[in-house]
Amino acid sequence: MFGDLKLGNIMDKVILQKLQKKIDRREFCKICFLGGVALSVSPLVIDLMKQMSWADSFSRKKGFINRKEAMFYKKIDKETVQCLLCPRNCTIRNGMRSFCQVREADKEGKLYSLVYGNPTAVHIDPIEKKPLFHFLPGTMAFSIATAGCNYQCSCCQNWEISQFPPEETVNYYLPPEKTVQLAIEYKCPTIAYTYTEPSVFYEYMLDTAKIAHKHGVKNIYHSNGSLNPQPAKELAKYLDGANIDLKGFTQEFYSKMSRGRLNTVLETMKILKANHVHLEITNLLIPFHNDDPETVKKMCVWIRDNLGKDVPLHFARFYPTYKLKNVPPTPVSKLEKMYKIARDVGLDYVFIGNVPGHKAESTYCPKDGKILIKRVGYKILENNIVNGKCKFCGEKISGVWNEKPLLNQSRNPFLKSDYLG
């Protein structure tokens, strides 16, 4: 289990030796703190504790696959099917797979999902990490993802799982009923389908969402928006919130960076909005690629005119990763320029992400300008929204709100990066 880990210091070696003796988690924590090791400083410690946190709860195994017949496909001939889930509309012969690597045809002319109930990532995150800023702030989301993706983003932060088939990832056995049970057990009011592209585990997501609603648990969807209209409409019946990565506002950018289609993403957002799903949008600003001010202005105008000025827009700071390690981080001044453009266009709620402590992490009242939700990173320091309204002037604030204003609940420190590719 630990053979490929690189040890950075003496304390890590001690911890590793103790873990190999199969100590329990309480003793492990005691060793860490007595040794003066700050968990936030040692990636090894965090990774090992994260594994211990979940591995004892249910089984996990590399390459574990759970098959289920897929939805949204048609037969072409005896051994060929066409997947109709996303706009790629992959034509797949017996034994072959779709672009996303998780849907396979058999000799009977049926299409199967290979990621039903076998997620590769299971975590408890602050809802603010999705990012959703106007959806039950201060609460936790039970977050899951499987292997695979229908995009190939050069800037994917979770490429180790999104760009691999399920045979090459370590997967849990976690069927829909168990997922909902754990969300309730860990007091998470929401299940988040996130990290990779949830559309590729559509059947698993949809069945889980249906059960979740029966038990009063909400569902949120962090997606690239690449989904055909019919499955998007069916999913929207069971979604309460969504954050869509609007990666840029030209087809040229989408073709080059993600191999995706801009028009599909725009249509998906319209469908979600029309079906009363709370919608937020993330735009990852990548220097020299999608940070042209005029293009960003066109994007903001489109959002205002087609989705509404009250849809929260997050400008996220890019950091070098995956295939774009030669691109520098987004200058904060550039993010601030885009923030001003969006506000000048008339968008009510605009945020700057991945810059902890920036004043644009917080929500301000569009009427009186007073601070409504003060954030630093994922922590909420102040919440002035009462009954969905600004407590100072009574202005109605778009979002899904708690019955009582909450500051952050207790945190799970084992956090995984949300997909920002």
Q: Quick one: 303 and 386 in the same domain?
A: yes
* Residues 37, 96 within the same domain: no
Higher-confidence residue of 22 and 221: namely 221
How far is the C-alpha of 262 from the C-alpha of 252, rounded, in Å?
Answer: 9
- Per the structure, the complete domain to which residue 81 belongs is given by 68-113
406 belongs to a structural domain? no
- Give the confidence band of 404 by pLDDT, cuts at 50, 70, 90: confident
Which CA distances in Å does 112 have to 93, 99, 207?
Answer: 12, 14, 15
Residues 158, 159, 164, 169, CA torsion sign: negative
Residue 94 burial (C-beta neighbours within 10 Å; 0-12, 13-18, 19+): middle
Residue 135 DSSP symbol = B
Residue 402 is assigned to a structural domain of this protein: no
Q: Are residues 344 and 267 located together in one domain of the fold?
A: yes
317, 352 Cβ separation under 8 angstroms: yes
pLDDT at 381: 95
Q: What is the pLDDT of residues 176-206, one digit of tens each?
A: 999 999 999 999 999 999 999 999 999 999 9
Phi, psi of 295 (to 5 degrees): -70, -40
What's the whole-number average pLDDT of the chain?
87
Amino acid at position 374, single letter: K
Confidence check: pLDDT of 278 > 50: yes
Identify whether residues 135 and 244 lie together within a single domain. yes
Is 76 within the bounds of a domain? Answer: yes
Asked if residue 85 belongs to a domain, the reply is yes
The number of distinct structural domains making up the chain is 3
Q: Does residue 212 belong to any structural domain of this protein?
A: yes
- CATH at 359: 3.20.20.70
Residue at 281 is within a domain: yes
Q: Could you give the C-alpha distances from 11 to 2, 17, 20, 26, 31, in angstroms and in order?
A: 15, 10, 14, 17, 9
pTM of the complete model: 0.85
CB 133 within 8 A of CB 280: yes
Same domain, 244 and 308: yes
80: burial class by Cβ within 10 Å (0-12, 13-18, 19+)? middle
d(CA 64, CA 162): 16
Give 69-116 pLDDT, tens digit per residue. 999 999 999 889 999 999 999 999 999 999 999 999 999 999 999 999
DSSP one-letter code for 173: -
CA gap 362, 312 in Å, rounded: 11
Question: How far is C-alpha 275 from the geometric centre of its chain's CA atoms?
Answer: 20
Together in a domain, 258 and 310:
yes
CA distance 14 to 32: 9
Residue 143 lies in a domain: yes
Q: Is residue 399 in a domain?
A: no
Q: CA-CA distance, 262 to 120, in Å (whole number)?
A: 28
> Alpha-carbon distance 40 to 46, whole Å?
7
Indicate whether 364 and 317 sit together in one domain: yes
Domain boundary among 76, 96, 113: 113
**Per-residue tokens: 165:** 């088939």
